[in-house]
Amino acid sequence: MTTTAPYGSWASPIVPSLLTNAAPGYAFPQFDNGNLYWLESRPWENGRSVVVCKTADGMTKDALPAPLSSRSKVHEYGGSPYLVVEDILYFCLYDDQRIYAINLQDPQPLPRPLTPENDFLYADFCFDRRHQRLICVAENHGVPGEPENLLVGIPLDCSMVIQRLCDGADFYAYPRLDNSGEQLCWISWNHPNMPWDNTSLWLSQIDDNGSLVSPTQIAGSGDESISQPRWSPENQLYFVSDRDNWWNLYRYGADEVVEGVLPMAAEFASPLWVLGMSNYDFCDDGTLLCSYTLNGSWQLAALSPGASTLKTIATDYTHISDVHCHGDRAWLVGASPHLSAELAEWHAKDRQLRTIIHGAPITFDCGYLSQPKPICFPSGNTASAHAFYYPPANPEFSAPKNTLPPLIVVCHGGPTGTASTALNLKVQYWTSRGFAVLDVNYRGSTGYGRQYRQALHGLWGIADVEDVVAGANFLIDQGWVDPDKVAIRGSSAGGYTVLAALCFHDLFRAGACLYGIGDLETLARDTHKFESRYLDRLVGPYPEHKDIYQARSPVHHVDNFHCPVIFFQGLDDKVVPPEQALSMVKALRDKQMPVAYLPFPGESHGFRKAETIRQSLEAELYFYGRVFGFKPADHLPTIAIFNL
């Protein structure tokens, strides 16, 4: 028997505490001296990032003692912040961004600093055995103007004499030594490019003093995005490039010719928001293990030595990342619509996957989990767009006859990003209460080739908005959702799409903006270095195109808003500073528009604390209940909504 109740009012076992306690984040697996390591993000410890170890005898323990947290602030989004070599843990401490070393064999290990107290940040390490140092990306905030990015060598003897290896470009990533330790490769790029626009691949010999000798650009035509360079066991340099539209694998041959390895209409990489990302690696026998995305779903495959075609490895995963190989084994992070992220091990001998660690198992019936349905729909200017549709799902409830569910349209961040089919309890939080959710991969999203990604160039605030509106109308035309109860939510760049859609279209009846953008001019002037020229391609160079910035900034068109909006903002956000939300809230309040605002001290760009996640979800549910006229089953705190 099911209970009949209005959509949105259904009781659900998917509560905020489940979101923050059940599934830590896993990333950057590494193997050293018989032990497996990985980085684990724990919302229940205020977002602490912990290096965890599974020993050869099967014990799992924290390698990084509490309350230490390892997280880098390079580019604000950070990247791989640790490395373990011969039982020594090298890590970037979040609190001061210095590099420390811990001898994991000591009964009571104490961190010893390897870098001085200054304004440098570090990420993306490799170990230089020949010169007894770490090589990594550094970001110097102690210079006038924007920070300086460079490659540096960090000696392990605690002398703290940091060696500059390469500078002059605006950005660097992926310093990787070859198997002999005599060559270093890396990628670089310059303003106004982002790493998914144009990057260059470099190669250099290293002399006896550890300096680079005559660095040479070996790939990068000025119209391709290169990432993830890696050396094979045969000491050949591989990398990912989108020179033929798709992020495919290439090899730099001994004759200095670049050749394609696996040409496919699929992508073997994700946008380089976080340094150190890895979608492929090599086992010692030369087997290449890789993950790639095809039509929005990730696959796992292996290329055996001498083979010319990939052999797909059957998994339940639809999202696969963080591939790392050692010996005849590999590790990866996988997830699916019914499975939160877990760390798995793959054996080259039997080609089998085994789970190493996962979050707390789901204790409720799988009937509460909505299965994403991929859809493609027509949009503006004869374009097509992609999305995943999640219908309401709750085995204990049904809605009254002749009623349709409210719809929440989700706009992912980036905007150079993608909607994933991995289990997202934040989506299931809504669907299990009777909402339908449309997670849109609007033009500009990744996973569909370079041309689709570049379809947003010059059209941010137009093409993405056309796509979210078209997606909602597509569902309305199918008769799947209530046309009078359509909301839109998004974070960061997705928050801008939310505000632009509310400002320039009248389809939506409510909006939720999480650390989003209301004023493009302010973003262009005030954001951090990594994204300071991002809008040159998405909108146009500033201030030359100031008129376009103003025309597309919702803060200048508050009279166009016609429905309630709720804002959530971290007060320590350096990517989208709090002034963005405050200016929108003030403008809407001055116009007597219904608006709510929830600031969160101690949060930056993206909420990490369990209490913040709980408060923001409950407030958003209460908000939708007020707007759409239903009473949620949850006991929710009242929030102030101005003029509603």
Q: 20 vs 322, which has greater pLDDT? A: 322
Q: What is the mean pLDDT of residues 114-134?
A: 97
Of the chain, the percentage scoring pLDDT greater than 70 comes to 99
Residue 642 has pLDDT above 90, yes or no: no
- Cα dihedral 398, 400, 404, 405, rounded to 10, equals -50
C-alpha triplet 566, 570, 574: angle, nearest 5°: 125
Mean pLDDT of the chain: 94
Which of helix, strand or coil describes residue 463?
A: helix
Which alpha helices (DSSP H) does 383-504 contain, by range?
A: 425-431, 450-454, 463-478, 493-504
Of 212, 527, 505, residue with least CA distance to 379: 505
**182 vs 175: CA distance, rounded Å:** 13
Q: What is the mean pLDDT of residues 516-529?
A: 91
Write the pLDDT tens digit of every residue in 136-158: 999 999 999 999 999 999 999 99
Instruction: Give 3-state DSSP helix, strand, coil % of the chain, rounded to 5.
Output: 20, 35, 45
Of the chain, the percentage scoring pLDDT greater than 90 comes to 85
Range among 353-362, 453-462, 597-606 rated most confident: 453-462
Write the pLDDT tens digit of every residue in 247-306: 999 999 878 899 999 899 999 999 999 999 999 999 999 999 999 999 889 999 999 998
**345 vs 338: CA distance, rounded Å:** 19
Write the pLDDT tens digit of every residue in 92-113: 999 999 999 999 999 888 999 9
Residue 640 has pLDDT above 80, yes or no: no
Q: What is the mean pLDDT of residues 581-604?
A: 92
CB-CB neighbours of 512 under 10 Å: 25
